[in-house]
Every structure is written in C-alpha cells, then in structure tokens.
Amino acid sequence: MEWYTCLDEYEKLVIRMTTPRVVIDNAVCPTATLVKVDSARREGILLDAVQVLADQNLSIKKAYISSDGQWFMDVFHVTDLNGNKLTNESVISYIEQSLESSFHDRSHEFNDLTVLELTGTDRVGLLSEVCAVLTDLQCDVVDAKLWTHNGRIASLIFVKDCNSGSLINDSEKIDRIEARLRNILRGDNYVRSVRTSVSSDVIHPDRRLHQMMFADRDYERKPVLLSKTDSPVMVFVQNWAERGYSVLNVQCKDRAKLLFDVVCTLTDMQYVVFHATINTAGDKAHMEFYIRHTDGIPISSEAEKQRVIQCLRAAIERRAPNGVRLELCIPDRQGLLAYVTRTFRENGLNLTRTEISTSRDTALNVFYVTDAIGNIADPEIIESVRRKIGSGNLKVKELPLMYPGKAEREEQTVGGVGGAVLLSLGSLVRRNLYNLGLIKSRS
C-alpha cells in the first residue's frame, strides 16, 4: 500500500468514495449474517451486489436498499441454503473482495468455449435432439442451462471441439452447428419460433437467459398448461405522485435467487430502484420497490404498468421449480448427455429446467422433469429411468409441492390493485430510516 501513502488527500478521498465499503457482520442478528454495502451510486450497482450473493447460493431473508441521491446503502440479511449464518471464511472473503472490487468477472470460467444461444418452441425431447446433433458433430457440452416458460425454451450451451478443443476459429463448423440446430428448433411457422446465435463473449448466464426470454416475449403468452405445482405470483403497481416514484409490491413463494431475478428484470427494462424492502416469512416473500425509469419518470400509462406486471411475473416463474428434481453425478464421457436426455425422451419425460456442468472430468447435472403434458411424472417411470442410467448416479433430490388449484389462483391473481391491499406508500422510506441505523446516514 506504499502507493496509497504517496497520494494527496483529495485523491485518497476519491478512492474511498468510489470503492464500495463492505462490512460482513455475524454479531448483530442471531439468525442471519449481515452484509452491508456502502458506496457512491453508479448504474447497475444494485444488480451487481445481488448477483454476487446469488452466485454463492445465499438466501436473502431481509434487505433494506436505499440509493436516493448520490449514495448507495444496502443491508442484506443472508444465510446459506440450510438457513445457517455464514461461517466459511473463503465465502466471506470472496463476497468482500467481489463487492469491493466492482464485482467479480466470471469470463475466465469459459475460456476457449463457444456459446450457443437457443430460443424456440418447447417440446418433449428437444434437448435430446440438440445433444444428439452436437455429439454427431464431435462437440462436447461443458456447461449448459435451459429454462422453459409458457411454451418457450431458452438455453445457453457452452461447447468445445472433441478433437481441437476450441471452435472459436472454425467458422465452417460453427455454421454447420447453427444450421442443424436451427432445423431442430423450427417447431412451427411462427416467425419468432426459432433463434440461434453463436458467441465467444460471456455475460452472466442467468441474466442472459432472462434477456433471451424477455426478447422472445414469453411474458405475453398465456400458459399452455396450468400445472398443479404452480404457485401464485402477485405483482401490484401504484404511483406515488408526491415523490415521483412508482411503487411495486411483489408477493410470491420465496426461493433462491428470487431477488436477483426481479432486480435483473427491472434493470434490463431500464428501471432504477431507489428504495426497496425485502422480507421473508416462512416460505413467503414480500418485496416493495420504489422505482423510476432511467429518464427519471415513474410509470406513466396503464399499458406500461401492465407490461411491468407481466414481465416481473414471468421473471419469477421462469426459475420456479416445476417437476421432480433429479441430480446426476457420474464420470463424464463423450456422448453422455445425449444418452441421458434420450433416455428421458424415450420415457416421455419433459425437461422444464436443466443445469449442466463438468468438474474434474465429472458430470454434475440437475434436471427438473414432468410428464409430457406438464403433470407430475409417474414415480415408476422415474425409477425405470434411474435404473437405466444408474440408480447410484441419478438421484431424486426434490419432489414437487402441491400448490393452490386453478380456481384458487384465479381468485388470488388480479391484473391491477383491485381487491389487494398495498403496503403503505410511505412505509418503505420510514422503515429504511430506522433499519439503516445500522449504517451511518448520509442524507
């Protein structure tokens, strides 16, 4: 730090103001670790902070967010997925370093890999057909994510050449891959039914999947099937004219990365969060956001309001678990993913969400499966698939919960504010003044 002592006081002040100050405290709250972030406000800083916590699979139990004026002050109450406070020093150090260094760059994780971006109409066996093509063209899937929502599919697939290792300079092979995948994805004649692209640039995979489904306008589509495992997501919007804010209230089932999904969508829709309060009670989450468009204007029309409601509901529903969760841990080999997904397809199982990764020559895969029409899969079929793939390798980790039926959901879900009681419009500001006593006020 000798260089720091050579700076004048003004230069030191600039560095202190532009570098986020992060404090991780295990003493204040008996049930959660507090992560406090204090910094000069900049574009996207809230999303970056939430992304760091989401990447560590932390559960955000409460949060108080304030970034009015030129200062950004957040307090996150976090636990691990088992509900315990953070005690792992490497995790704590990672969070501190990532937040203080303007956040973590993950691009090194995908060096020399080619990224395939796929969107299209969902159907049983689609991923199996994609994997078969990649195997036939001598490509290995190193990492992949697949989401489905409202009859649409979005997938990021990171591949390498089985022989040369890299496809980046093989434009002819990339063209062949893209052409064959486009044929597979062409499920109907609708102009937006298929899209493929190839990229060597890497952004955050989950954020990119949100962007792909948003661009495909999955939020406009009526659900093809109302599954018995659906959980109601309620979003209410009202303007607070006196303060020039639009106030969003979101109520839904709590889950991992929920706050990331909401903040990511608001950011990509060009809205800025100035204040927010997040509370969880049991398995329920209640979130309140005070927002404006990036031009400084609150939501200005009924059409814009309805679009925000649709997009936030879609963002929350995309990642919500749907089906039986199966985890595969097995030594990796060429063609493994094609074999596994073909087994699912031949037994009539539909993949609603998939996460593929490899670590030290071991395949670590997560699949959410339903039957062909979106209902809970027959346990006997699940067991048959497990026996074929290897019962010791493919394990059932989660069974779907039963949520309210269609009639109850329709009674609970409304397009606007009617029948719902919004939290007090001034409640968030008042709560933040008290709760942010944990941080020195700069107002």
pLDDT tens-digit profile of 135-162?
999 999 999 999 999 999 999 999 998 8
Question: Both 325 and 218 in a single domain?
Answer: yes
CB 157 within 8 A of CB 141: yes
Residue 194 lies in a domain: yes
Q: Say what the pLDDT of residue 186 is.
A: 82
- Summarize the confidence of residues 214-238 as an average pLDDT: 75
Question: Both 102 and 129 in a single domain?
Answer: no
Residue 25 lies in a domain: yes
Asked if residue 315 has pLDDT above 80, the reply is yes
Q: Say what the pLDDT of residue 228 is.
A: 44
Asked if residue 219 has pLDDT above 70, the reply is yes
Among 5-19, 30-44, 108-122, 321-335, whose mean pLDDT is lowest?
5-19
For residues 401-437, one letter each, b for 16 or more C-beta atoms within 10 angstroms of the residue's C-beta and e for the rest, the string is eeeeeeeeeeeeeeeeeeeeeebebeebbebbeebbe
Tokens of 399: 């069974």
Question: Both 21 and 134 in a single domain?
Answer: no
Q: How far is CA 219 from CA 237, 353, 370, in A?
A: 17, 17, 22
Q: Say what the pLDDT of residue 430 is.
A: 41
Q: How far is CA 86 from CA 32, 113, 292, in A?
A: 8, 33, 34
437 Cβ contact partners less than 8 Å away, ≥ 6 residues apart = none
- Summarize the confidence of residues 177-205 as an average pLDDT: 74
In whole angstroms, give the CA distance from residue 194 to residue 123.
Answer: 13
Q: Say what the pLDDT of residue 10 is.
A: 53
Question: Both 191 and 47 in a single domain?
Answer: no
Question: Both 23 and 133 in a single domain?
Answer: no
Asked if residue 319 has pLDDT above 80, the reply is yes
Q: Say what the pLDDT of residue 401 is.
A: 56
Residue 403 lies in a domain: no
Q: What are 422-437's pLDDT values in tens digits? A: 333 444 444 443 444 4
Backbone angles phi, psi at 244, to 5 degrees: 75, 25
DSSP 354-386: EEEEEETTEEEEEEEEE-TTSSPPPHHHHHHHH
Q: Say what the pLDDT of residue 8 is.
A: 57
Q: Say what the pLDDT of residue 419 is.
A: 34
Q: Say what the pLDDT of residue 244 is.
A: 93
Question: Both 61 and 150 in a single domain?
Answer: no
Domain that holds residue 159: 108-222+321-398
CB 60 within 8 A of CB 260: no
Q: Say what the pLDDT of residue 265 is.
A: 97
- Summarize the confidence of residues 406-415 as an average pLDDT: 35
CB 65: neighbour CB atoms within 10 A? 27
Residue 301 lies in a domain: no
Burial class (CB in 10 A: 0-12, 13-18, 19+), 371: middle
Average pLDDT of the chain is 83
Q: Which residue has the higher pLDDT, 39 or 49?
A: 49
3-state secondary structure 408-435: HHHHHCCCCCCCCCCCCCCHHHHHHHHH
Question: Both 82 and 54 in a single domain?
Answer: yes
Q: How many domains does the chain have?
A: 2
Residue 313 lies in a domain: no
Q: Of 49, 46, 65, 59, which Cα lies nearest the Cα of 103?
A: 49
Question: Both 26 and 101 in a single domain?
Answer: yes
Three-class SS state of 41:
coil
Q: List the end-to-end C-alpha distance of the chain, in Å, as a whole number.
A: 32
Q: What is the CATH number of the domain that holds 27?
A: 3.30.70.260
Question: Both 11 and 159 in a single domain?
Answer: no
Question: Both 133 and 187 in a single domain?
Answer: yes
Distance of CA 204 to the CA centre of its chain: 10
Query: What is the β-pairing status of strands 114-121 and 324-331?
Result: unpaired
The one-letter amino acid code at 114 reads T
Question: Both 204 and 329 in a single domain?
Answer: yes
% of residues, the chain, pLDDT over 70: 78
Burial class (CB in 10 A: 0-12, 13-18, 19+), 113: buried
Asked if residue 417 has pLDDT above 70, the reply is no
Q: Of 86, 107, 128, which marks where a domain is finished? A: 107
Asked if residue 255 has pLDDT above 70, the reply is yes
